[in-house]
Structure 1
Amino acid sequence: MQESSIDEFDRKILVALQDDGRLSNTDLSDKVNLSASQCARRRVRLEEGGWIRAYHAALDRERLGFGLVNLISVTLSTHNRDNARQFTKLIGELPEVMDAYALTGEMDYMLKVVTRDLKGLSIFVNEYLLPHESVQNVKTAIVLETVKEGGGLPL
């Protein structure tokens, strides 16, 4: 499905579901001014076409005991395909990593990592990142306040 193959109703459905993925087709129909059956057909088409990749629950990080959000920049020891694969494999195995981005510029990766506390951050950096053969340098920053998180796409 190309972007040109979605219309304004599809966009309204995507905006509504991005805000609340649990909407029933009846509730969705009220929001986008289409029948529930039309919304159901369009939702299935958007899912099958890859416009909607998944549905998730937004969990309360602090209530679940993850008091720190950390931004960690990583520079690799060497820049080759195998080293990058080893590092991305490591990151995929670490559940504390919420988001990971390969970058251009001075650093190679930026990680968003949650930990329970400073000790958890220390363990994460000193036992998982720094000893890994693909990693040369790590810089950490602790988030003081989350100003905006999990914003939707600007449809």
Structure 2
Amino acid sequence: MPKRPLDTIDYRILAALQEDGRMSNLDLADKVGLSPSPCSRRVHLLETDGFIRRYVALLDPATIDLPVHVFVNITLEKQVEASLETFERTVLERPEVLECYLMTGSFDYLLRVVVSDLAAYERFVLDHLTRIPGVASIKSSFALKQVQYRTALPLGHLAE
């Protein structure tokens, strides 16, 4: 939940920075209709208040030899706190795991994993996932093609 109400300018700043986080303050101020100093103060407040978590560079996985994307459904033997904590702590240490979600439904966790090839995925499964205590099943789905990938969150619902 937002810590403070945002106004139209805040939404414009957030939208612009989601598209180009390296935009200069001068360009951002021009784009959102502010002078540079108030724009800089607003960006700082958005960062301080937690609306902006961090700035990153998005790499193309194929160009750095990580073309294989795998969605992994994990089922634990028991959904008890200790098992959940052990699984989550272990997964947080694995750089191949880009996303991990605790789920409702027919499995307990959904992972998004990226690796260089099938052999690397096999090593990841055998050397890491199967060694986590309490893992009952691992089901993998390999992405054939990425149809859409976004990092920008939709903001329209906030401006209403």
Normalization by structure 1: what TM-score? 0.96
8 Å CA contact 1:74–1:108 kept in 2: the answer is: yes
Letter in 2 for 1:38: P
Determine whether 1:9 maps to 2:9. yes
After TM superposition, the structure 1 = structure 2 runs for residues 33-72 of structure 1, keeping only pairs within 5 Å, are 33-72=33-72
Letter in 1 for 2:122: S
Per the TM alignment, residue 151 of structure 1 is displaced from its structure 2 partner at its CA by: 3.4
CA distance in 1 between counterparts of 2:111 and 2:46 reads 30
CA distance in 1 between counterparts of 2:90 and 2:12 reads 38
Instruction: Tell me the percent identity.
Output: 39
Per the TM alignment, residue 4 of structure 1 is displaced from its structure 2 partner at its CA by: 5.3
Q: Which residue in the other structure is 2:92 paired with? A: 92
Per the TM alignment, residue 133 of structure 1 is displaced from its structure 2 partner at its CA by: 1.2
Determine whether 1:127 maps to 2:127. yes
Letter in 2 for 1:83: S
8 Å CA contact 1:75–1:135 kept in 2: the answer is: yes
What secondary structure, in the 3-state scheme, does the structure 1 residue paired with 2:62 have?
A: coil
Superposed CA offset, 1:85-144 (max 9, x none) = 000011001000000100001000000000100001111112211222121100001110
Structure 2 unaligned segments of length 5 or more: list them: 156-160
Normalization by structure 2: what TM-score? 0.93
Q: Which residue in the other structure is 2:158 paired with? A: none
Aligned residues: 155
What secondary structure, in the 3-state scheme, does the structure 2 residue paired with 1:125 have?
A: helix
After TM superposition, the structure 1 = structure 2 runs for residues 144-155 of structure 1, keeping only pairs within 5 Å, are 144-155=144-155
8 Å CA contact 1:69–1:142 kept in 2: the answer is: yes
CA distance in 1 between counterparts of 2:79 and 2:133 reads 12
CA distance in 1 between counterparts of 2:7 and 2:132 reads 48
CA distance in 1 between counterparts of 2:15 and 2:83 reads 39
8 Å CA contact 2:3–2:49 kept in 1: the answer is: no
Per the TM alignment, residue 3 of structure 1 is displaced from its structure 2 partner at its CA by: 6.0
Q: Which residue in the other structure is 1:24 paired with? A: 24
8 Å CA contact 1:77–1:133 kept in 2: the answer is: no
What secondary structure, in the 3-state scheme, does the structure 2 residue paired with 1:110 have?
A: strand
8 Å CA contact 1:74–1:139 kept in 2: the answer is: yes
Structure 1 unaligned segments of length 5 or more: list them: none
Distance 1:115 1:2, change over 3 A: closer
